[in-house]
Amino acid sequence: MDQVAAGTKIEELSAELKALRKGLGIQAPNLPQHVGVLLRQVCGIEADDSPGTVRGKVDETVRSLITRLPESQRKAARLIFGFDTPADQRYTDRLMQLGTGADRNVRTMQRRADDVVRLIAETAYAAPGRLTHAGRKDPWHTSALAVRLTFAETGAEVFETRRIISHVDGLEEIEHSVSLARPLQPGQPLPTLEGLGIDVVAGGEVHSERMVSSTRVAFRLRPPRPLDTGEQHEFFFRIRVDEFPSPFYCCTPEYPCESFDLNVRFDRRHPPSRVWRIDGEFSKDAEDPLAPRKPLWPDNAGEVHTSFHDLEPARSYGLGWQPGG
């Protein structure tokens, strides 16, 4: 594509993306009916795709483009298009959230929004072959994971909230797994999830527990109803253990994960001597305390907070620490 043609395409796609952001944005009930010609090409939409499939492809493609923006622009982009906002929040209300203080001028915020849309369009034509998930076999991916780990004298509690997006129609089960504090011995019966201290507080029914290693139990979660392409579902776990498995907490996704927010509250009576960030390491290296890493420090409440974006499958992200003496 020559420079003039590319510029024209970018301008046309920008106009289609501006139309997409109007009203309820990505959450608009009639979205599949208002996807422009160029955006259909970018998303890999076929003529016989169902409305649900069209919505799913648009959702995934725009999310994918946003993840490739500079980090300073991603939050604004998600807000502009209505990702993770109230379903009834219109564009003008979302736009007002872009400004702060003296910068809260409608024209200024509109220019910022237009700049972000233009950047997304440029990104689409910078790497068009990477936009769709047509060749990927993942049944779902995680759009947001939030974990709060709290230590106390009697053990630890993990609170996990995970939002997933289906890549297929009729997704009935979501695979999940957690590590155990103590390895199971050969022949030892598998304890129930309740016996392992795992509660599904909201989001579905758990079944088919099984060991995938001596220290890891897998299970399946069945949502209240099957999910179609592009549909989101959120579930919430609480895990209580008398003894924490290892001096680190990591997310090692099997499928891509857009964002991971981790907050660890240490027991202030037994603070760690040091804490470090684990960012995209091989799982076998995550436990290594000697590897060079970015140090972090608990605040006055004994808490350490960190976040990650665009997590790659089979890589580990989280925090490690050295217990105090």
Is pLDDT of 2 > 60?
no
**Cα(21)–Cα(31) distance, rounded to whole angstroms?**
10
- Reported as a single tens digit per residue, the pLDDT across 44-97 is 888 888 888 888 889 888 988 888 887 778 888 999 999 878 888 898 888 888
Determine the straight-line distance between the first and last CA of the chain, rounded to whole angstroms.
63
What's the pLDDT at 180? 55
Confidence of residue 185 (pLDDT cuts 50, 70, 90): low
Confidence of residue 1 (pLDDT cuts 50, 70, 90): very low
**Cα(229)–Cα(1) distance, rounded to whole angstroms?**
32
Stated length of the chain: 325
User: And the tokens for 282?
Assistant: 């091989």
Give the residue carrying structure tokens 């998600």. Answer: 78
What's the pLDDT at 285? 66
Is pLDDT of 146 > 90?
yes
185 touches 204 (CB < 8 A): no
3-state secondary structure of 116: helix
How many Cα atoms occupy the beta-carbon half-sphere of 279 within 13 Å?
A: 12
Lowest mean pLDDT among 240-249, 268-277, 306-315: 240-249
221-228 long-range contacts, CB within 8 A, separation 24+? 221/173, 221/174, 221/176, 222/172, 222/173, 222/174, 223/171, 223/172, 223/174, 226/170, 226/171, 226/172, 227/140, 227/166, 227/170, 227/171, 228/52, 228/56, 228/166, 228/168, 228/169, 228/170, 228/171
Give the rounded percent of residues in the chain with a pLDDT score beyond 70: 80
Mean pLDDT, the chain, whole residue set:
80
Q: What is the DSSP letter of 208?
A: E
- Reported as a single tens digit per residue, the pLDDT across 215-249 is 677 778 889 999 988 888 999 988 887 777 778 88
- Reported as a single tens digit per residue, the pLDDT across 192-215 is 666 666 776 688 887 777 766 666
What's the pLDDT at 96? 83
Lowest mean pLDDT among 61-70, 133-142, 274-283: 133-142
How many Cα atoms occupy the beta-carbon half-sphere of 178 within 13 Å?
A: 24
235 touches 266 (CB < 8 A): no
What's the pLDDT at 182? 56
Is pLDDT of 5 > 50?
no
Instruction: Give ∠ CA 320-322-325 in degrees, rounded to 5.
Output: 160
81 touches 65 (CB < 8 A): no
What's the pLDDT at 275? 92
- Reported as a single tens digit per residue, the pLDDT across 106-137 is 788 888 889 999 888 888 876 444 343 434 46
50: Cβ contacts below 8 Å, ≥ 6 apart: 169
What's the pLDDT at 127? 47
Q: Is the dihedral of CA 259, 315, 58, 130 positive or negative?
A: positive
User: And the tokens for 114?
Assistant: 């237009």
Strands 274-282, 216-222: pairing kind: unpaired
CA 217 to chain centre: 22
What's the pLDDT at 126? 62
What's the pLDDT at 107? 81
Lowest mean pLDDT among 126-140, 142-156, 245-259: 126-140
Is pLDDT of 7 > 90?
no
Burial-class residue 244 by CB neighbours within 10 Å (0-12, 13-18, 19+). middle
What's the pLDDT at 305? 95
Is pLDDT of 265 > 80?
yes
**241 phi/psi in degrees, rounded to 5:** -135, 145
